[in-house]
Amino acid sequence: MLFGCLFIPSFELGVNLIDYPKLLIDDVGPIALVDTDSELILDVTSLAKSAGVNPTQTYSQAFGFCPELKIIQINWAKTSEITESFLSIAQEISPVVESLSSGCVMFDLQGSETYFGDINAVGKYLFDLREQWVTSLTKHLPEQLQESSSSLLRMQVGISERKFTTQMAALFAEPDQLNYVTDKQGRQFLAPLSVQLLPLPNEYIDRLSLLGVTTISEYVSIPQAKIEAQFGTQGGYAWLVGRNQDNEKIRAITILKEPIRHHIELDSASSDLSVLKVMTQQLLAHMLNIAANKQISVVELRIQFETETGKLYFFDRVLKNPVRSIQNIWLAISPQIENLKCSEPISKLQIEFTDVVGESGHQLPFSALHRQRKQQLQNTARHLKARYGSPTLMQIKEISKCHRLPERRFALGDYSF
């Protein structure tokens, strides 16, 4: 199976700089993108980074390293909207698309060669789509500023037969270049890369650095059994990834053919929770009428509040059962709205039914499900023992909680009922 990955470094910074044309007139200097709610820096230009400014610093700390640093505020609403439009580039190639971050998208390329002909043709088509996408974002700017904005949104493309290798191929590709890593080249390509790139928690990375393991080749040279004894299943999966042997698939984004998404713009921005509750209930009632006409029930929804400056406050809610009742939905979402804390008045409310079904049902409580399945398993064990005269089902039993080797913590014995 063939995977593709689109990656734009400093995606959020480039997207938000489009709203600051004065900063693009000259060469892009030391600029930092910040979130005013947390006062943290999210991204910086190369000149700011060379001056010692890094993400996760507060901007008061950043000014100590670079007094001439320019600060721009992130517009979360616009960034979210442009991220969705960036997904459309991959969706032109494949219906199976996964968003890894704001500027990183993966997609399934299986069967694409029958349409495009070869890998280079796929790359050319992707870069043409990227040009059209950037043009649509910057068409309101003068031509000189369009070129500056385009340089901030240069795309890197990686293609390979393993998901992690594909992501690394895009990460280390040249701007506006395709980096194709064959399956035979995969392990050699990954070997010199830093072990910090592996999908491991920070505490595991710190432990590996104490052991002197700094590259992926050093990590995979350790036997898998020893890795799993120290780092468990996460370590074992990272070991397979580093050897270019993982079989992970794309976690595709579910796209409704006719998404149910509506919004209300308030005449005057408000921070009053009672007003927001009334507006939410009114919009929900309207959308549930549409769902009822289509004979569908809601499984998952997203409530999103937007301020005049583009800040977003949202939450997702998965419902226990498919419902069409506003009372049931309100019971599920009202605690989140009660705890909503906004630093600015809300000017826009949007609700989207992110998952719907045409059926209805009732989910048993987890305790009842557990008892029911346990009883079914016990009955099956009795029938099998009666038929064959000896136990045929085995059970994993914990014998030692503290042993460092997983295989010594458990034993396989007869199923006891």
CATH number of the domain at 291, please: 3.30.1490.100
How far apart, in whole angstroms, are the C-alpha atoms of residue 74 and residue 33? 6
Phi and psi (nearest 5°) for 245?
-125, 10
Q: In the predicted model, is pLDDT for residue 195 greater than 90?
A: yes
pLDDT tens digits for range 283-327: 999 888 888 888 888 888 999 998 888 888 888 888 888 888 888
Residues 42 and 154 occupy one common structural domain: yes
What integer pLDDT is reported at residue 165 of this predicted model? 94
Residue in the block written with tokens 């499984």: 299
Residue in the block written with tokens 């503290």: 402
> For 301-328, b where at least 16 C-beta lie within 10 A, e where not — what string?
bebbbbbebbbbbeeebebeebbbeeee
Tokens describing residue 252: 């595709």
Residues 266 and 143 occupy one common structural domain: no
Tell me which residue range forms the domain holding 213: 186-242
pLDDT confidence tier of residue 361, bands split at 50, 70 and 90: low
Share of the chain above pLDDT 70, in %: 93
Residues 215 and 67 occupy one common structural domain: no
What integer pLDDT is reported at residue 368 of this predicted model? 64
Q: Is residue 254 part of a domain?
A: no
Q: Is residue 384 part of a domain?
A: yes
What is the count of structural domains for the chain? Answer: 4
Residues 14 and 147 occupy one common structural domain: yes
What integer pLDDT is reported at residue 172 of this predicted model? 93
How far apart, in whole angstroms, are the C-alpha atoms of residue 236 and residue 225? 8
Among the listed ranges 83-92, 249-258, 394-403, which one has the minimum average pLDDT value? 249-258
Share of the chain above pLDDT 90, in %: 17
Residues 272 and 372 occupy one common structural domain: no
Q: Is residue 248 part of a domain?
A: no
Query: Are 114 and 94 within 8 A, CB to CB?
Result: no
How far apart, in whole angstroms, are the C-alpha atoms of residue 327 and residue 70? 49
The rounded mean pLDDT for the chain is 84
- Among residues 158, 178, 198, the one where a domain terminates is 178
Residues 208 and 349 occupy one common structural domain: no
How far apart, in whole angstroms, are the C-alpha atoms of residue 24 and residue 30? 12
Q: In the predicted model, is pLDDT for residue 252 greater than 70?
A: yes
Q: Is residue 122 part of a domain?
A: yes
Q: In the predicted model, is pLDDT for residue 256 greater than 60?
A: no
**Secondary element (H or E) of residue 67:** none
pLDDT tens digits for range 86-128: 888 888 888 888 888 888 999 988 877 667 778 888 888 889 9
- Among residues 125, 144, 178, the one where a domain terminates is 178
Select from 75, 70, 23, 76 the least CA-distant residue to 44: 70
What integer pLDDT is reported at residue 169 of this predicted model? 94
How far apart, in whole angstroms, are the C-alpha atoms of residue 243 and residue 412? 31
Give the CA-trace dihedral at 281, 284, 285, 287, to 10 degrees.
Answer: 160
What's the average model confidence in pLDDT over 256-262? 71
Residue length of the chain:
417
Of 404 and 309, the one with more pLDDT: 309
What integer pLDDT is reported at residue 327 of this predicted model? 87
Q: Euclidean distance between the first and final Cα of the chain, in Å?
A: 44
Residues 82 and 228 occupy one common structural domain: no
Residues 171 and 191 occupy one common structural domain: no
Residues 11 and 109 occupy one common structural domain: yes
What integer pLDDT is reported at residue 26 of this predicted model? 58
pTM here? 0.70
Of 59 and 289, the one with more pLDDT: 289
Please state whether beta strands 410-414 and 312-323 pair in parallel, antiparallel, or not at all (unpaired).
unpaired
Burial (CB count <10 Å: 0-12, 13-18, 19+), residue 353: buried
Q: In the predicted model, is pLDDT for residue 241 greater than 70?
A: yes
**What is the residue type of 368?**
A
Query: Are 164 and 13 within 8 A, CB to CB?
Result: no
Please state whether beta strands 178-180 and 156-160 pair in parallel, antiparallel, or not at all (unpaired).
parallel
Other Cβ atoms less than 10 A from the Cβ of 27: the count is 8
pLDDT tens digits for range 133-176: 888 888 877 777 777 777 888 899 999 999 999 999 999 999 88
Residue in the block written with tokens 């989207």: 352
Residue in the block written with tokens 């990272």: 238
What integer pLDDT is reported at residue 79 of this predicted model? 87
Residue 171 belongs to domain with CATH number: 3.30.70.270
Q: What angle do CA 136, 139, 143 make, to 5 degrees?
A: 130
What integer pLDDT is reported at residue 64 of this predicted model? 84
Residues 286 and 337 occupy one common structural domain: yes
Residue 211 belongs to domain with CATH number: 1.10.150.20
Q: Name the H helices within 92-182.
A: 113-116, 119-138, 143-152, 163-171
What integer pLDDT is reported at residue 55 of this predicted model? 85
**Secondary element (H or E) of residue 232:** helix 224-242
What integer pLDDT is reported at residue 188 of this predicted model? 93
**Secondary element (H or E) of residue 273:** helix 273-293
Query: Are 215 and 195 within 8 A, CB to CB?
Result: yes
Residues 41 and 103 occupy one common structural domain: yes
Residues 276 and 168 occupy one common structural domain: no
- Which residues is 97 bridged to in the sheet? 107
What integer pLDDT is reported at residue 162 of this predicted model? 92
* C-alpha neighbours within 13 Å on the C-beta side of residue 25: 3
Alpha-carbon distances, residue 286 vs 73, 239, 280, 317, 324 (angstroms): 35, 51, 10, 19, 12
- Among residues 178, 200, 224, the one where a domain terminates is 178
Q: Is residue 53 part of a domain?
A: yes
Among the listed ranges 16-25, 132-141, 225-234, which one has the minimum average pLDDT value? 16-25
**What is the residue type of 24?**
L
How far apart, in whole angstroms, are the C-alpha atoms of residue 288 and residue 20? 40
